[in-house]
Structure 1
Amino acid sequence: MSDLSLNEIVDQLRELTRDLYWFSESDYAWEVRILPEATIAPETVRQQSQKPANAEIETVEFDPFFQRAVEEKDWYGDRERETVGRYRQLVQFLQENLHDLIVYRVGAIEVEIFVFGKTKTGEVVGLNTISVET
């Protein structure tokens, strides 16, 4: 785990996700999020979301979630290969700088996605975006 400060991690995440969109029926950018609590719990994530209190929440493991984003297909063109490369950099950065990485999906159809982990000093930081899935 690196010795980067919270501010350095946030700055790097902003740079790594600039103009990077999740694969879904609509393109939404990633936003850097910092949780005020030192725990990563479903209820905390639900409070951070724009969804109603009774919205469905699902926990997903980090590696399987990002698998399709980091896997290059034979038929990919230059733009798709560049996006895969950027996702590989992002995943590597998250793995090297955060521990206890977890992904939450909140809601249905227009799903809010949160990727959180803890810094070496215990702060909770991560990303969120929206995935449209009909």
Structure 2
Amino acid sequence: MTDSIATQLKQASKNLLFLSETDAPFEVVTWPAQGELTPTKLLQLTEYPPDAPVELRTVDEFFAIATAEEDWHDEEERETVQRFQNLVSILKQNLSQLQVYRVGSIEIDVYIIGVTDGGGLAGLSTKLVET
């Protein structure tokens, strides 16, 4: 099941960039069953120092701007919004306990991770720059 969700996420996020002060692509992330994912466990899995700052967000909060259609969007921007809406839908349909972890400050690594039907962890990672 993890392979299936990984494939779906890869296809849905292909050529999508998350906009911040740097536009970063998404990468698919999978880990075998870990039990409940906590900020501490995420830091261990991603080999960050144990005192790295971690901020939690919901998927809806994180993707709010990317999934909002605006009157002033052109056709390409509307297509991008629809692709982000599709990506969020795939995440929500295939992963439970979905959570966004923001690690670091200014240069932030983002992990959008949930639990697969088989108990493994899967999702996406990207980078943000916020000054």
- Give the superposition deviation at 1:98: 0.9
- Give the superposition deviation at 1:53: 3.6
* SS of 1:68 mapped into structure 2: coil
TM-score (norm 1): 0.89
Q: Which runs of 4+ in 1 moved over 4 A?
A: none
Partner of 2:21: 25
Q: Distance in 1 between matches of 2:53 and 2:27?
A: 21
Q: Which digits, 9 at most, give the CA deviation of each residue in 1:41-75, with x for residues without a partner? A: 10122234465442211111222221111101111
Q: Distance in 2 between matches of 1:80 and 1:18?
A: 16
Structure 1 residues without counterparts, runs of 5 or longer: none
Q: CA RMSD in A?
A: 1.4
- Overall identity of the aligned pairs, in %: 38
Q: Distance in 1 between matches of 2:100 and 2:72?
A: 28
Structure 2 residues without counterparts, runs of 5 or longer: none
Judged with a 3 Å threshold, the aligned counterparts in structure 2 of structure 1 residues 70 and 53 are, in CA distance, closer, same or farther, namely same
Does 2:89 align with 1:86? no
Task: Tell me which of 19, 31, 40 is aligned to 1:35.
Answer: 31
Q: How many residues align?
A: 130
TM-score (norm 2): 0.91
Q: Distance in 2 between matches of 1:7 and 1:38?
A: 19
